[in-house]
Amino acid sequence: MDAPPPFAVHLVTGGASSPELALLLRSLAAARVVALDAEWKPRRRGPGGDAPNSPPPATAAAPPPPPAPQFPTVTLLQVACRGDGAGEGGAAAAAEVFVVDLLAVPLADLWESLRELFERPDVLKLGFRFKQDLVYLSATFAAALGRGAGFVRVEPFLDVTNVYYYLKGHDLQKRLPRETKSLATICDELLGVSLSKELQCSDWSCRPLSKGQIQYAASDAYYLLDIFDLFHQKIRIEGKCLPTNELTSDGHFAPRDIEDAICSDSYLASIVVKYSEKISLTESDTKPHSSRRKGKQKFDANAKCKEKFEGSTKWQGPPPWDLSSGGDGCPKFLCDVMIEGLAKHLRCVGIDAATPSSRKPEPRELLNQTYKERRILLTRDVKLLKYQYLASNQVYRVKSLLKHDQLAEVIDTFQLKISEDQLMSRCTKCNGRFIQKPLTLDEAIEASKGFQIIPSCLFNRNLEFWKCTDCNQLYWEGTQYHNAVQKFLSLCNISD
Ligand SMILES: [Zn+2]
């Protein structure tokens, strides 16, 4: 063997009461970045090969019936976690590396923690083409614990292939080369580390595992973290995507939660926001491909696609702000740039309607802002519906073309109850609220100095002024105001 790898491995073979499993669960709970890999028993076909997942042939009895196609059983899960400490200073916290023997650990003791880890928004998951691992892992848990015990998604997720291309100078927003590099090649090129090729294909269902197998398996996860560190450093050195300003140019809706969640490391937060993705398994991912006839499969896939697409234009609740799903009961929307007029109209009737933080937002930014602020994304762009990042109750395609109709459509679709005192209760410019008490003319003149000009014709008209608490814009009841109120009263079906 070569020089010993630069990490110690915890082999986890016990159940809930074992110290190794307890340590694994503690490390996962404290982790900010977790690298994942899985090994399964290789499937051999043809003479002499084992049928997938069949028990070892004990005697030369009658040939068993052909087994139903199944996914390989995952026998080993490798986890490398890094917790807090990889902060702005640069020094990375030590990694904890675990090799979890799924043939020995009761899967029921692991399932919940694993599922939570996969879905925790404050932990970045790293993997190398991990979707296949997830499919097999999900099938393995479902086979042991019942259908509901699969895994549905991993998010936020970062594929090390993308990191590799970034480090090689590719623009990740553009189309990446189609050639596929093996993890061994990536490790060799980026870290100068060579991973054993012969162990890669060893029998991962054999017990006991050799020391070499354990080290090899652990290194697959460990080096993912190492590669991520290079990426993290590069992002930091380049000072690129220094995120928070960029994201909050609006200044109004600071997306603090991801940042707070991922400790003080704003670079990590920005990596999550800018580069992470989501792996989600659909119904068809949970069925082995060989069980479907090719032609039918294609047809079904198309039909499903179409159905999904059309289905998603119909909005299905409850909305994210619904009290039943832990929301605050206050409707919140994010209007895509194409429908900014609708955003202003919604504000006029007192509805919280944000606009994108940047002028030409990437889909990812829109989706992130929607998700983080628990809004519903309103858009006319059908392309935005195809992203699975958002649940179907977080995006709605506005069908009407004119902003009056759009407002009526949104009020109707979301069953918004708008009362008269909500009208003109928000700043149409920035979506901010007004200060509680109207200003007198003198106060308004004072507040407007160097900022906004109050026409002198208003001076002797005994008007009330409101000031936006966010952008300081002043509003008053001009002639336009009463016309607008009338219009919105009828649009919102409020009878006075
Ligand atoms: Zn304002």
196 in the same domain as 174 = yes
pLDDT surpasses 70 at 113: yes
397 in the same domain as 456 = no
C-alpha 345 to ligand 1 mean position (Å):
14
238 in the same domain as 360 = no
C-alpha 432 to ligand 1 mean position (Å):
5
C-alpha 394 to ligand 1 mean position (Å):
25
Is there a domain that residue 235 lies in? yes
pLDDT surpasses 70 at 416: yes
- Model pLDDT, residue 25: 94
pLDDT surpasses 90 at 475: no
What is the number of residues in the chain?
A: 496
Is there a domain that residue 57 lies in? no
Range of the domain at 186: 9-43+70-283
453 in the same domain as 409 = no
**Is the bond preceding residue 438 a cis peptide, omega within 30 degrees?**
no
Per-residue pLDDT reduced to its tens digit, 439-451: 888 888 888 888 8
Strand locations in 339-412 (E): 352-354, 376-379, 395-397
C-alpha 251 to ligand 1 mean position (Å):
11
Residue 407, domain CATH: 3.40.50
Strands 376-379 and 352-354: unpaired
Tell me phi and psi for residue 126, to 5 degrees: -110, 145
C-alpha 428 to ligand 1 mean position (Å):
7
Contact 317, 393 (CB under 8 A): yes
Rounded Cα distance, 103 and 73, in Å: 9
108 in the same domain as 187 = yes
C-alpha 370 to ligand 1 mean position (Å):
20
pLDDT surpasses 90 at 3: no
Contact 346, 353 (CB under 8 A): yes
Is there a domain that residue 295 lies in? no
Is there a domain that residue 58 lies in? no
C-alpha 468 to ligand 1 mean position (Å):
5
For residue 88, what pLDDT band results from cuts at 50, 70 and 90? very low
C-alpha 313 to ligand 1 mean position (Å):
32
pLDDT surpasses 50 at 472: yes
The residue with tokens 């110290």 is 19
241 in the same domain as 195 = yes
C-alpha 474 to ligand 1 mean position (Å):
8
Query: Kind and range of the H or E element at 27?
Result: helix 19-30
More confident residue, 287 or 213: 213
Rounded Cα distance, 274 and 268, in Å: 10
C-alpha 434 to ligand 1 mean position (Å):
8
The answer to whether the pTM exceeds 0.85 is no
Contact 113, 145 (CB under 8 A): no
- Model pLDDT, residue 383: 81
378 in the same domain as 262 = no
pLDDT surpasses 70 at 112: yes
C-alpha 449 to ligand 1 mean position (Å):
16
C-alpha 344 to ligand 1 mean position (Å):
11
C-alpha 393 to ligand 1 mean position (Å):
28
240 in the same domain as 123 = yes
C-alpha 346 to ligand 1 mean position (Å):
14
For residue 61, what pLDDT band results from cuts at 50, 70 and 90? low
Is there a domain that residue 191 lies in? yes
Strand partners, 468: 434
Rounded Cα distance, 338 and 335, in Å: 8
Q: Is 150 exposed, middle or buried (0-12, 13-18, 19+ CB in 10 A)?
A: buried
Is there a domain that residue 55 lies in? no
Rounded Cα distance, 465 and 437, in Å: 9
The residue with tokens 């980026």 is 190
Angle made by CA atoms 130, 131, 134, in degrees to the nearest 5? 90
pLDDT surpasses 70 at 430: yes
For residue 256, what pLDDT band results from cuts at 50, 70 and 90? very low
Residue where one domain finishes, among candidates 250, 283, 316: 283
Is there a domain that residue 351 lies in? yes
* Number of domains into which the chain is organized: 3
**Is the bond preceding residue 65 a cis peptide, omega within 30 degrees?**
no
- As a whole number, mean pLDDT of residues 143-161 equals 90
207 in the same domain as 238 = yes
375 in the same domain as 337 = yes
C-alpha 433 to ligand 1 mean position (Å):
7
474 in the same domain as 376 = no
Residue 13, domain CATH: 3.30.420.10
481 in the same domain as 333 = no
Per-residue pLDDT reduced to its tens digit, 159-175: 998 899 888 888 777 77
As a whole number, the mean pLDDT across the chain is 79
| Start-to-end C-alpha separation, the chain | 85
**Sheet with strand 352-354: strands edge to edge:** 352-354, 332-335, 376-379, 395-397
